[in-house]
Amino acid sequence: MITYLTLFKKEGVRLIKGNQRLLKKMNRTQVLDLIRREGPLSKAQLAERMKLTFAGVSKIVNDLESSGILFLRGEGRSSGGRKPALYALNATAFYVVAVDLSVDEIHVALMDLSTVTVDETCLAAPGDRTPRSYVEAVRLGVQTLLERSGIPRKKILGVGVSSPGPVNSVTGEVLYPPNLPLWNVVPLKERLEQELRMPVKVEKDANLHALGEKWFGAGRGADNLVYVLVGEGIGGGIVIEGSLYRGTPFGAGEIGHGTVDLHGPRCNCGNYGCLEVMASGLAVIRRIREKIRAGHASPHYPAPEKIQLSNVLKAFQCGDDLTIRELEETSRVIAAGLIGVVNSLRPDMLILGGKLSRGFPLMTDIVKGVIRERVVPALSEQLQIVKGELRDKSGLVGAAALVMEEIFTLQLK
């Protein structure tokens, strides 16, 4: 006969064993993450930071050294007695494949655990813009990098993919990206895993720009940050307490689709006056075309219908007055769209990145000035507003970090 006490005892043993396994995994990932972020470190330093016994940390470090992911890297200083051994991450113990998809390009890179690029390739996006063509291009890109590098598949942790959103990050489905109209609930993770025979993780592009800056760029010291991707469109990624915040269901960070003008033009999302349709790179192009057609002459542009973002940024570099005025006003509109975000989320840091932000360096200062004037004063004092450090690599680095989360952070599922 099974009594409640018997059942409780059995389940209690399972719970204890489960907790022990979880605790072991937590300690292992914490050792790896501390050494990744702060290493090289000694066993004593790790024990002090983690509030664990020296013996417990020593066993974890020895196991990780035996597996090849840590290695002995010299000796530290000693106040007396033997100098402590210092341990560092073996960045070439494993590798990751990072993929950055956009409307125009497919960028594939092979990176080590410190995101040093071993090899990379950049392909033009398929002319038909279909999911099938993108998957085939990624397959060829990954195959090319593995063949050229000679790195065996067993050393590849997986493939991280940055995709136009929205994205269901659990299933790896790309839902309804406005600028890829043929992509309607595409099971991208499933299709790529079938083609590549590797684990694949897929995430919204702006989220991975945020993750890349958090792990390896401007956001390394910030636990709470907002990344704003300003290119042809506008997107956002949010990090709260060190982790990506995706919301329910996976819609957090759609900064570009907040309304800034109730009577503005129609956006690709179907609404009117969104930040993206008012202040993105495509919005700048639209307004410059309109003004040139209305008689505002500029020697720096081709025929209005041929104007691209590259023409806009080149005209700015040449000191074109029309372009400078448009970019300055665009920056102020972006700042207006971010005031509510800052007031609501109270981040430690606001990071501006993307092609338009990089090409118009004054944007950061203009956004900073408007936000300093308009947000709640207590928030203004502690908020850092900075440029992204990873430039055009932030999506790739974030895609690599997405895969690395499996070994450097505890994934509770």
What pLDDT is recorded for position 18? 55
Query: Would you say the CATH fold of 218-388 matches that of 20-89?
Result: no
Q: Are 164 and 229 in contact (CB under 8 A)?
A: no
Using the predicted structure, report yes or no on whether residue 300 has a pLDDT greater than 60: yes
**Residue 6 scores a pLDDT above 50:** no
pLDDT at 413: 45
**278's tokens:** 């008012």
Contact status, residue 382 vs residue 197, Cβ threshold 8 Å: no
Neighbouring-strand partners of residue 119:
110
pLDDT of residue 251: 78
**Does residue 149 carry a pLDDT above 50?**
yes
Q: Which is more confidently placed, 252 or 118? A: 118
pLDDT in tens, 12-24: 444 444 577 888 8
* Average pLDDT of the segment spanning 146-161: 96
pTM: 0.88
Closest CA relative to residue 102, chosen from 125, 80, 86, 83? 125
Q: Which CATH number fits domain 95-211+395-408: 3.40.1160.10, 3.40.50.2000, 3.40.50.1220, 3.30.420.40?
A: 3.30.420.40
Reported CATH class of domain 20-89: mainly alpha
* Strand 243-244 relative to strand 234-240, pairing: antiparallel
Q: Are 276 and 267 in contact (CB under 8 A)?
A: yes
Q: At the topology level of CATH, where does 218-388 sit?
A: Nucleotidyltransferase; domain 5 (3.30.420)
- Average pLDDT over the chain reads 90
- Report the length, in residues, of the chain: 413
**What is the residue extent of each domain of the chain?**
20-89, 95-211+395-408, 218-388
165: confidence class by pLDDT, cuts 50, 70, 90: confident
Tell me the angle at which helices 205-216 and 394-408 cross, rounded to the nearest 10 degrees: 70
d(CA 87, CA 303): 60
